Amino acid sequence: MKKILLAAAIVLTVGSVQANPYMALGCVGCHGVNGAGASAPALAGKDAAWIVKQLKDFQSGARKNATMNAMAGMAAGQEQAIADFLASK
Ligand code: HEC
């Protein structure tokens, strides 16, 4: 029984991480819980299309910031999911 509960907990945890790449990729460490801001600018409630554009610009180097040029690369393919999550906060 304990093993079944543990397995269920793992499935639930993995599910929520997949649904939330903002947490999985560690963006939260600098941009704060739900994008409220911390050592890096707040992202909560920003326009989703604007967030996607910033991430693409960091990826291409059109926008330069050493930290974000690296972090945005990790977010490749998940820009929209991250932006939708933050825009909803
Ligand atoms: C190690 C700290 C750190 C991590 C981790 C980090 N960021 Fe950032 N982020 C920054 C800093 C610092 C800036 C401000 C860059 C600048 O001044 O141009 C920034 C800027 C941004 C911006 C533009 C905000 C604005 O107001 O112009 C977006 C969008 C963003 N980050 C998204 C993310 C996402 C998504 C992740 C996770 C994949 C992430 N960041 C991870 C430090 C971080």
CATH number for 47: 1.10.760.10
Identify the domain containing residue 16 by its residue range. Answer: 2-87
Long-range contact set of residues 75-82: C-beta below 8 Å, sequence gap at least 24: 75/21, 75/25, 75/27, 78/21, 78/25, 79/51, 79/52, 79/55, 80/48, 80/52, 81/19, 81/20, 81/21, 82/21, 82/22, 82/25, 82/27, 82/51, 82/55
In the predicted model, what is the mean pLDDT of residues 30-48?
97
Which mutation among 25, 50, 71, 82 tests ligand 1's pocket best, with the greatest number of atoms within 8 A of CB? 71
What does the pLDDT read at residue 24? 92
Q: Is any atom of ligand 1 closer than 6 Å to the C-beta of 42?
A: no
Predicted confidence band of residue 61 (pLDDT cuts 50, 70, 90):
very high
* Closest residue to atom 25 of ligand 1, CA basis: 41
Count of domains for the chain: 1
Bigger pLDDT: 10 or 67? 67
